[in-house]
Structure 1
């Protein structure tokens, strides 16, 4: 994913997209999120996992708009 694609995500994305950006498999991502071990903060909203993009960008070392 390039800078422009990251910019289009806005302030948050879903767990699947965050996993893809980090090169994680979906089942691994969900397992890590359930264990509170996902590499960036994850917000649980009902049955959904929401990943704020700011910590994701920081992990990737990418600045810019969010």
Structure 2
């Protein structure tokens, strides 16, 4: 999985999938889901049915991008 660049963060929607957030953070898919399931993902996770979503604003804040 290729890591996301800062310029790519500007094009993200308000809420992204856990895979997109993992890519931005440089995490593997497996590790991202493991963190989410234990409640240790570094950003707030929104669970929608069986999927996980991450607010882009929180992801940007964690990465220090305004």
TM-score category by the smaller chain? 0.7 to 0.9
Greater than 3 Å deviation, 4+ residue runs: none
TM-score normalised to structure 2 length: 0.88
**Matched residue of 1:62: which SS?**
coil
TM-score normalised to structure 1 length: 0.88
Residue 44 of structure 1: aligned partner: 47
Higher relative contact order (CA 8 A, sep 6+): 1
**Matched residue of 1:38: which SS?**
coil
Gaps of 5+ in 1: none
Count the aligned residue pairs. 63
Equivalent runs, 1:1-66 vs 2, <5 Å: 1-63=4-66
Q: CA RMSD in A?
A: 1.0
